[in-house]
Amino acid sequence: MTLQLLINGISLGSVYALIAVGFALIFNILKFSNFSHGGLMSVTAYIGYVASVFFGRYIKALPLFVVILLAAALGGGLLAIVVERVAFRRLRNSNSSVIYYFISSITMGILMENSVTIFASSNFYSYPSFFPTSVIRFGALSVAIPDLLTFLFSGSSLVILLVVLFRTKIGLAIRSTSFDTATAKLMGMDPNRVVAATFFASGVLGGVAGVFLGINYTLYPQLGQLIVKGFVASVIGGLGSISGALIGAVLLGVVEIFLIGLVGAGWSPVVIFVIMLVFLLLRPRGISGVIVQEKA
Amino acid sequence: MEYLVSTLTFTGITLIGVLGVYMVTGLTGLFSFGQAAFLAIGAYISAVLYKNLGLPLPLAAFVAMLVGLAAGLLVGLPTVRLRRDYISLVTFGFGEAIIAVLNNTANVTGGAMGLSGVPQRTSFSLVLASVIACLAVVISYKNSKYGRQCLALRNDELAAKSMGINVERLKLVTFLIAGVMTSFAGVLYVFYTTYVEPGAFGWVISAEWMIIVFVGGVNSLTGAVVATVLLTGLPEFLRFASEWRIAIYCIIVLLILNFRPSGIFGEHEISLDFLRRLFRKGARAA
């Protein structure tokens, strides 16, 4: 039973990891918490739905699912680039202080969520079921197929991201820019392109996460507010650290599943908030232990 | 006429909330995504105490503000020592947690169904008096030593610290004052609408207040007041476009951020002194 919950928790945690890493990427490079990520996930969840209606006539089951994920990922990536262009480009050029990024990202998030509300809230939508809801048995353990696929697809998106970050030239550029923007610029990297690439990567992860959220819950415009899980995961893991975000997210998923078993779904946000407070009191730099300095 | 008064009353209550956000965000540069939770605390505590336990209204309001203070301490104490991002994350979690608590204590708060049947005890004149009192508090805070310390802290925390400002205490005190003020707004709110539900206190409300502060100008109290009247008062009269209201807000804010990042009023205040100077300038020109 416990092992069973653990597996469900890891599957949930892998979706949180998508959110948390997409969030950490932007935090790393621009040093602010990107609240527009939630709005982006709302939009991509609907993009995925539109794709499922559009392609659902030709293909079924697993191929359809892959197509939907690709559509949402691409949509999310492009949308993130637009967001960067509209909300942050001018701020970056004028070297604005962090609070302006903040307010800009919140506004952008609300705007995206509200656009979804305007165009889609009057009707109720939900994803078709892609897989037979059967289980695979490993001895005494039974793993639901959707859970397994969630884990596989989130995991592979994260692996792809890590490969891009650590094995390609653009990944190197992203990492060096997040380390020191001015020096990276001196070394001949175009900050606009690097930031756009980072936003694209973050948007792709947000897109995949949006589809999974849309499948796990129903589609509603406020879906993106689940981004709070990504935030909590990053606080636990350490703000701005990719590995920390991964660990924090999986931990959060597992804890949450256990809490739902213990205290019920209603009370679990309260307990998670208390856990977050305790974490901040005892170990504010998170698990990864990297602390981002304000200055000097 | 009644409609006008009710709109003005709501604008007044919102203004008190915005004043709280102005202190936290405008003066100190912190972002609280849970400010609306203080509104919820004020509203629910006072309503439950008054309705279920029969406490006199002023006492119920006082207890509600005390609870707001305690909640502020709970959130503020662990976070003021950390980077500013944390206070936004924690307040965000705090807001969601409060809503979860309200939803799960249905036998007292009515849960998602909301708490109804609260008598209407707030009048326009009471709200007006409260607004004036809160404005007085904020103005004197801004012009005091603490207000100037807040501005220093907002612009450069490290420099403020090295000038001997107790940054952590200052952040905490400002946050607490704002929390108590917002709780008070909650008391006014519930005894005016006579009905509250947890859904009305989500983080979007807190974000809207922050947007209002920014539209007015981060550093201008006058701006905050004017923006509140513009953004909450006027849309009430433009109800027909309600679906697009928030979207239009957002676009306005994005335009302001991109092209006039200091907000409508920037750093300017309309004060008696300012008007006197304006008058003198006009006299000289004539």
Spatial contact of B254 and A108, defined as CB atoms under 8 Å apart: yes
Instruction: Please determine, for residue A176, whether its predicted confidence score (pLDDT) is greater than 80.
Output: yes
Phi, psi of A144 (to 5 degrees): -70, 140
pLDDT beyond 90 at B183: yes
Q: Picking from A51-60, A123-132, B2-11, B114-123, which range would have the lowest pLDDT averaged per residue?
A: A123-132
Matching CATH number, A2-282, of 3.90.1150, 2.60.120, 3.40.50, 1.10.3470: 1.10.3470
Contact B36, B201 (CB under 8 A): yes
In this structure, are residues B150 and B221 in contact, taking their beta carbons and an 8 Å threshold?
A: no
**Cα nearest neighbour of A121 on chain B:** B243
Domains parsed from chain B with CATH numbers: 2-285 (1.10.3470)
Long-range contacts of B156-161 (CB under 8 A, 24+ apart): B156/A295, B157/A294, B157/B84, B158/A294, B158/A295, B158/A296
What is the widest separation between alpha-carbon atoms in chain A? 61
Flag whether residue B89 sits within 8 Å of chain A, measured between CB atoms. Answer: yes
Q: Give the closest of B85, B214, B218 to A239, CB-based.
A: B85
Q: Among residues of chain A, what percentage have pLDDT more than 90? A: 7
Q: What is the pLDDT of residue A290?
A: 60
Q: Which of B35, B85, B94, B213 to mutate to test the interface with A (most CBs of A within 10 A)?
A: B85
Phi, psi dihedral angles at B100 (to 5 degrees): -65, -40
B221 close to B22: Cβ distance less than 8 angstroms: yes
At A49-103, the pLDDT tens digits run 888 888 877 777 778 888 888 999 999 999 999 998 888 888 888 877 777 787 8
pLDDT exceeds cutoff 60 at A293:
no
Whole-prediction pTM: 0.81
- Choice between A199 and A150, residue whose per-residue pLDDT is larger: A199
- Find residues 188-247 of chain B whose CB sits inside 8 Å of chain A: 203-204, 207, 210-211, 214, 218, 243-244, 246-247
Residue B203 is predicted with a pLDDT of 76
Tell me the average pLDDT of chain A. Answer: 82
Of A125-139, B172-186, B192-206, minimum mean pLDDT range: A125-139
For residue B237, how many other CB atoms are within 10 A of its CB?
10
Domain boundaries, chain A: 2-282
Judged by CB atoms closer than 8 Å, whether chains meet at B89 and A231 is answered as: yes
Does B68 have pLDDT greater than 90? yes
For position A296, what pLDDT does the model report?
Answer: 40
CA geometry: angle B49, B54, B60, nearest 5 deg: 40
Q: How many CB atoms within 10 Å of residue A269?
A: 23
- Look up tokens 């890891």; give the residue: A10
Contacts with B161 from chain A: Cβ below 8 Å: none
Cβ separation B243–A106 shorter than 8 A: no
pLDDT tens digit string along B16-52? 999 998 888 888 888 888 888 999 999 999 998 988 8
C-beta atoms of A108 and B254 within 8 A: yes
**Structure ipTM:** 0.76
Q: Which residues contact A97 (CB under 8 A, 6 or more apart)?
A: none
Q: Which of A209, A176, A201 is nearest to A190 (CA)?
A: A176
**Arithmetic mean of pLDDT, B67-81:** 89
Q: Given CB atoms, is A111 within the 8 Å cutoff of chain B?
A: yes
Answer whether A117 sits within 8 Å of B243, measured CB to CB. Answer: yes
Residues 13-72 of A with CB under 8 A from B: 27, 32-33
Q: Is A122 helix (H, G, I), strand (E, B) or coil?
A: coil
Q: What is the distance between the alpha carbons of residues A54 and B196, in angstroms, rounded to a whole number?
A: 42
Chain B residues inside the 8 Å CB shell of A107: 211, 250, 253-254, 257
Confidence bin at A5 (pLDDT 50/70/90): confident
Residues of B in contact with A232 (CB under 8 A): 89, 93
HEC profile of A34-87: CCHHHHHHHHHHHHHHHHHHHHCCCCCHHHHHHHHHHHHHHHHHHHHHHHHHHH
**Predicted pLDDT of residue A294:** 47
Q: Across the interface, do A267 and B100 touch by the CB < 8 Å criterion?
A: yes
Q: Quick one: DSSP state of residue B25?
A: I
CB contact under 8 Å between A86 and B254, yes or no, is yes
A137: three-class secondary structure by DSSP: strand
How many angstroms separate the CA atoms of A81 and A95, rounded?
19
Of chain B, the percentage scoring pLDDT greater than 90 comes to 21
Distance from the Cα of A114 to chain B's closest Cα (Å) equals 6
What whole-number distance in Å separates Cα of residue B105 and Cα of residue A18? 33
Q: What type of residue sits at position A17? A: A
| B25 in A contact zone (CB under 8 Å) | yes
Helix, strand and coil content of chain B, in percent to the nearest 5, comes to: 80, 0, 20
What is the average pLDDT across B125-139? 91
pLDDT at A268 over 60: yes
Q: Are A294 and B103 an interchain contact pair (Cβ–Cβ within 8 Å)?
A: no
Point out the least confidently predicted range of A232-236, B214-218, B233-237.
B233-237
